[in-house]
Amino acid sequence: MDDTPQDGERLPPSLTFLKWLVIVLTLTMIGGVITVVALIVTRMPQAFDRGPVMPSSITLPEGARATAYTQGIGWFAVVTEDQRLLIFREDGTLRQEIPLGGITP
């Protein structure tokens, strides 16, 4: 049994309407994907341009050796081998020193 329409036969109006709805939905989805990809491509380089600002030099106190480093907005911190947390300003000057008592290596 072959139910496919022969040449010259038209689809019922409800199926024709459904066919056009599917075509419009497909075009809308293609447009949406293109828009999302275009936004990602144009916005991503701006996100990578703003890297962290590293100080030109850091002067640690006498005898201190750095074991860890972290950075925030307007400051950076260095953890030393003798269990101190040294917080510096962006220009590299020491802002605060915090002993890390109770933490064993």
- Let me know if residue 23 belongs to a domain: yes
Query: For the chain, which residues score pLDDT lower than 50?
Result: none
State if pTM tops 0.75: no
| Residue 92 token pair | 């590299």
- Let me know if residue 82 belongs to a domain: yes
Residues 72, 35, single domain; the answer is no
- Residue 1, pLDDT score: 56
Per the structure, the count of domains in the chain is 2
- Residue 50, pLDDT score: 65
Residues 41, 81, single domain; the answer is no
102 neighbors 88 (Cβ within 8 angstroms): no
- Let me know if residue 19 belongs to a domain: yes
How far, in Å, CA of 75 to CA of 93, rounded? Answer: 10
Residues 45, 22, single domain; the answer is yes
Residues 105, 66, single domain; the answer is yes
Range of the domain at 29: 11-51
- Let me know if residue 4 belongs to a domain: no
